[in-house]
Structure 1
Amino acid sequence: MKTFHCNHCSHLVFFENVRCERCEALLGYVPELREISAFEEAGDARWRSLHPQAGGALYKQCHNYAVENVCNWMIPADSPDTLCRACQLTRTIPNLGAPDNRLYWYRLEVAKRRLLYTLGEFGLDVKSRLEDPEQGLAFEFLEDGGDGSRVMTGHDNGLITLNIAEADDAHREKVRTAMGEPYRTLLGHFRHETGHYYFSRLVENNPRWLEPFRALFGDERADYGEALDAYYRDGAPADWQASYISAYATMHPWEDWAETWAHYMLIVDVLDTSTSYGVALLPDDPGVPTLTDRTPVEDASFDNLMKRWFPLTYALNSLNRSLGMPDGYPFTLAAPVIDKLRFVHRVIAEAGDQSSAPGPQHEKRAANPA
């Protein structure tokens, strides 16, 4: 995630902000520009963008921004749409009559918008079910029933379901501990489930990628139900860290891919943010790794990303320990895991170049598939 500024007063703002903390200008994300913009009122529920790239264009707030307060994306003023591109992907929202569900909905939408931002940076086209009924993407945010029925977070042919209980921090931490997972976040769920979606879009029926996939991840034709039962009965192999990014990845090649895909997104997001903020590491101790490379992630080869990842996570974990917090990055990347991450990098690089309109970032990423 890059840095954003208020175009009215130049104050630093976040991707999720709706008002500038300094000048109180209305803020909104303009997906066409991939920028947060400040706005001034233009009458009739229209807002004039102050972003220099917008040329004074008029916008309106997404309905879920203006009315529901769970969004901050803007729509061109002359568009017939009332929902932004992000909110159009949500097919089912939580029951807002229940306590805390609006808060959970807000948290889910925040994580989803961050996911969409990264997919856009990859050059991956995200279409709704309205645009593409066969292969479009949709989300349902559901809760467990009062009769004891449970909602399972998962993916089914482009429909991603999330149990809204995952937006409850206490519940998610309880499950994380019970499942022995070092890392469980809403954004992580979205990344993982879209990994399943893009496997079916980019790998499953692509002869260029399918055999290399099987060589790295295993044969995805293995019975998923049997693999699921075996995992929850026996757990992961004792030496799983030698070949997998997580214990859950050992369950089935589909899950190995989704966990690796999610982890690649995590790496690119964090490196993009650190580069945008000009983070550099220049330790006094010559034995501690340095980090001065600020190559934009869209220009970087896979080897470049990995070279920068270790010193950054070493510093991150050291800072967390100084705060008395658990490691911010509790993972070890064994050589087979790095090979799988490299494969994901190559698949995304090629797909982004083919599915996106020509643009500098897509040309640069595709030029560095290694």
Structure 2
Amino acid sequence: MQLFRCESCGHRVYFENTQCTQCGAALGFDPDRFDMAAIRPLGNGRWQSVATGTQGSGVYRQCSNYAVQGVCNWLLPDGSPEDFCVACRLNQTIPDLSISANKVLWARLETEKRRLVYSLLKLNLPLTPKTDEQQGLAFQFLADTAPRFNESGRVMTGHEDGVITLNIAEADPVAREAMRSQMAEPYRTILGHFRHESGHYYWDRLVWNTPWLESFRQCFGDERQDYSQALDTVYSQGAIANWQEHHVSAYASAHPWEDWAETWAHYLHMVDTLETAYQFGLSLQPRVTENAETSAEQDFNPYFDTHIDRLLEHWLPLTYALNSLNRSMGHGDLYPFVLSPGAVRKLSLVHDIIHRATPPLTADSVV
């Protein structure tokens, strides 16, 4: 994730900010420029970028979810016919906001969803809102009709035909932690759900019925095996004994579709975390080291790098440092994964498909 500067005073600001803590300027994210705009009101719902200084350029409108609900900080060009930003236009169903607790949970979901959309846009992946006749993407955020995570009336998080459904209880830290423990999922997060389910969507868009399908089957396995039976087996018997040799997670061993989605999510975790390290200028040079692999200079932007080896060269030393820092704070490993050669092979295919499906953006094309 990028770091930003307030266009009004130059103070550092972050992706979720709506106001500069230094000068008080109103802020909004411009997804066309991948930059945070400092804005001042012009009236009639129009906002002027303080950086342009002219009335004829840099004029925005706030996303309706920004202006009305306060759950989005993205902007639209003043001339756009849309009411919602590129991220909020993907919403098909939102929770019942007459229930006060739902707005808090929905706001948390939207924050993480915008991080997903940021990554998808930066990777230049196809991203259009779904209608009944289109191949686009849609989100629906639903609440259980029974006590949270109770099987009866429970909303199941998942993907079907371009629609990603998320149970809003995932935004409740207590409920999510209970499920994380029950399901033995060491990395159960809202953002992880979004990234995983988007993997199912992009398998349909980028792999199915394309020249990549045979490469997918050679790498991940034949997706034509019975999906329901495969999931029943992993839920009743657990993952295969040697899943670490070929998969990024135990759940990935359930079926080739789940293997792809878990690997896709892992790839998005990697590039976003590496970009954050790049933005902070992190340099890892351990004072005690056995080999050069534990040193890395975060001097590249992973969204723009077309070589998976470069990502891995920077990723592994970073995870060692992150895990050590977490342990110093009394927590478990922040990154409880081991990337086997089999898992790396799958990450490489995901990387190749992403970078060859559509030409990725370049550093020159964004701020």
Q: Answer yes or no: is 1:290 the counterpart of 2:292.
A: no
- Give deviations 1:193-232, integer Å, cap 9, x for gaps: 01000000010111x2111111111100011111111111
Q: Percent of counterpart pairs with the same letter?
A: 50
Contact in 1 for aligned 2:146/2:154 (Cα 8 Å):
no
Aligned partner of 2:362 in structure 1 is 360
Aligned-partner Cα distance in 1 for 2:256–2:351: 17
Contact in 1 for aligned 2:52/2:58 (Cα 8 Å):
no
The one-letter code sitting in structure 2 at the alignment partner of 1:152 is M
- Give deviations 1:281-335, integer Å, cap 9, x for gaps: 1222243721125122113510011011111000000000001111110101011
Aligned partner of 2:240 in structure 1 is 237
- Give deviations 1:134-170, integer Å, cap 9, x for gaps: 2011000001113931111000010110000111111
Aligned partner of 1:341 in structure 2 is 347
Aligned-partner Cα distance in 2 for 1:330–1:242: 15
Map residues 10-159 of structure 1 onto 2, 5 A cutoff. 10-51=10-51, 56-130=57-131, 133-146=133-146, 148-159=152-163
Q: Which runs of 4+ in 1 moved over 2 A?
A: 50-56, 359-363
- More off after superposition, 17-26 vs 141-150: 141-150
Aligned partner of 1:248 in structure 2 is 251
Per-residue deviation, 1:125 = 2.2
Aligned-partner Cα distance in 2 for 1:129–1:301: 32
Aligned-partner Cα distance in 2 for 1:352–1:5: 30
3-state SS of 1:198 partner: helix
Aligned partner of 1:173 in structure 2 is 177
- Give deviations 1:249-274, integer Å, cap 9, x for gaps: 11110000000000000001111110
Contact in 2 for aligned 1:123/1:351 (Cα 8 Å):
no
Aligned-partner Cα distance in 2 for 1:108–1:118: 16
Aligned partner of 1:366 in structure 2 is none
Aligned partner of 1:368 in structure 2 is none
The one-letter code sitting in structure 2 at the alignment partner of 1:50 is V
Aligned-partner Cα distance in 2 for 1:50–1:227: 56
Aligned partner of 2:328 in structure 1 is 322
Equivalent in 189, 200, 205 of residue 204 of structure 2: 200
The one-letter code sitting in structure 1 at the alignment partner of 2:349 is F
> Scaled by the length of structure 2, what TM-score is found?
0.93
The one-letter code sitting in structure 2 at the alignment partner of 1:335 is P
Query: How has the CA–CA distance of structure 1 residues 254 and 304 changed in structure 2, closer, same or farther, with 3 Å as cutoff?
Result: same
Contact in 1 for aligned 2:281/2:298 (Cα 8 Å):
no
Per-residue deviation, 1:45 = 2.0
Contact in 2 for aligned 1:50/1:56 (Cα 8 Å):
no
Contact in 2 for aligned 1:123/1:362 (Cα 8 Å):
no
Aligned-partner Cα distance in 1 for 2:255–2:67: 43
Contact in 2 for aligned 1:352/1:362 (Cα 8 Å):
no
Query: How has the CA–CA distance of structure 1 residues 53 and 212 changed in structure 2, closer, same or farther, with 3 Å as cutoff?
Result: farther
Aligned partner of 2:315 in structure 1 is 309
- More off after superposition, 282-291 vs 99-108: 282-291
Aligned-partner Cα distance in 2 for 1:318–1:134: 47
Tell me how large the CA RMSD over aligned residues is.
1.9
Structure 2's unaligned 5+ residue stretches are none
Structure 1's unaligned 5+ residue stretches are 364-370
Query: How has the CA–CA distance of structure 1 residues 49 and 210 changed in structure 2, closer, same or farther, with 3 Å as cutoff?
Result: same
- Give deviations 1:77-101, integer Å, cap 9, x for gaps: 2222211111111111011122421
Contact in 1 for aligned 2:306/2:355 (Cα 8 Å):
no
Aligned-partner Cα distance in 2 for 1:175–1:146: 16
